[in-house]
Amino acid sequence: MVENILDVQNLYVEYKNMHQGKVSKIHAVNGVDLKLNKGEILAVAGESGCGKSTLAKAIIKLVPYNSGKIFFLGKDISSQKFVKEIQMIFQNPYASLNPKMKILDILKEPLKINTDFSDSQITSKVFEIAQKVGIDEKSLSLYPHEFSGGQRQRIAIARALILNPALVLADEPVSALDVSIQAQIINLLKDLKDSLNLTILFISHDLSVIKYLADRVAIMYLGEIVEAGLTDEIFYNHKHPYTKALLSAVPKINDIDKQRIILSGDLPSAENLPSGCKFYSRCPYCMSKCRESVPNNVRISDTHFVKCFLSVI
């Protein structure tokens, strides 16, 4: 039976922005719905500033949300202070590890705080997870600055997994790494997902990585999910003009759109969202009704939907 891990319903997140004494609202996440089942990797893709990291931070309660619901393992997270079964891997592994602590202590800490394990049980758990992520036991007595970027991200992954979380949020986990190291970390995540049946919400702007790793993909634009589906549906049967433009910019996904689509028109500010379709100012197919009415989700298949009037023409 499919086990639902995460169910986000009609989520809105706004930030307040103060400029020259005036307070305005930044609409970071605008009515997002998504579901994630056990053992799946759902990738959320989009340009910088589209709201994908804010969405992850709202799920793990690092930022408050204004309205909507987040159900984790069937429970509304608004009534819970901290959800230890959700863990996060951040973009910059150096900034996310305490430079004054040895790796052994960094990995022990979550178990000391959240479990009743004895010290020897904790140490053996640390050795076990270190081995799974490819860090040898001798290195556990070192400090974060003594590792390379790729090794530091392995340590950050180990720390995220040591409590055996039901959900891992990975926010651009390879974008701060050298290209040669990125592949190792992506392969590590894929292996861990398969061996531990991990459920991962994978935030990334890198569609090549997403194509390799994800089971499903959600495309986000100005805080909305404009298209979502199985990875093959998004890469080979996409319907939204924004998805098409994003994919056209990926080098060497050799069997799809060969000609790059350069979007003209201004990216609207998240402070003053346009009426109608939020993509209309940049859309090469914009029609008059796109400026006036908001397109609804149109179902293309049981697993694929798109938010665009073109799909119903």
Least distance from ligand SF4 to the Cβ atom of residue 27, Å:
17
Least distance from ligand SF4 to the Cβ atom of residue 5, Å:
30
Least distance from ligand SF4 to the Cβ atom of residue 201, Å:
25
Q: How many residues bind ligand SF4 (CB under 6 A)?
A: 14
Task: Give the residue with the Cβ less far from ligand SF4, 229 or 241.
Answer: 241
298-301 and 304-306 as β-strands: parallel, antiparallel, unpaired?
A: antiparallel
CB count in 10 Å sphere of residue 179:
7
Least distance from ligand SF4 to the Cβ atom of residue 221, Å:
9
* Sites for ligand SF4 among residues 269-308 (CB under 6 A): 277, 279-280, 283, 285-287, 290, 295, 308
Inter-axis angle of helices 179-196 and 149-161, nearest 10: 20
Task: Give the residue with the Cβ less far from ligand SF4, 167 or 290.
Answer: 290
Task: Give the residue with the Cβ less far from ligand SF4, 142 or 298.
Answer: 298
* Dihedral Cα 287, 289, 294, 296, nearest 10 deg: -80
Should residue 309 be labelled a site residue for ligand SF4 when binding is judged by CB under 6 A?
A: yes
Sequence-ordered alpha helix ranges (H) in 197-275 = 207-213, 231-236, 241-248
Least distance from ligand SF4 to the Cβ atom of residue 284, Å:
8
Least distance from ligand SF4 to the Cβ atom of residue 165, Å:
36
* Residues in contact with ligand SF4, shown as a per-residue x/- string from 185 to 224 under the rule CB under 6 A: ----------------------------------------
- The one among 6, 193, 241, 247 contacting ligand SF4 by CB under 6 A: 241
Task: Give the residue with the Cβ less far from ligand SF4, 212 or 285.
Answer: 285
Q: Number of C-alpha atoms within 13 angstroms, CB side, residue 271?
A: 8
Tell me the three state secondary structure of residue 16: strand
Residues with Cβ within 8 Å of 248's Cβ and at least 6 positions away in sequence, in order, are 257, 259, 260, 261
Partnered with residue 27 across adjacent β-strands are 14
Tell me the three state secondary structure of residue 61: coil
CB count in 10 Å sphere of residue 157:
25
Residues that bind ligand SF4 (CB under 6 A): 240-241, 277, 279-280, 283, 285-287, 290, 295, 308-310
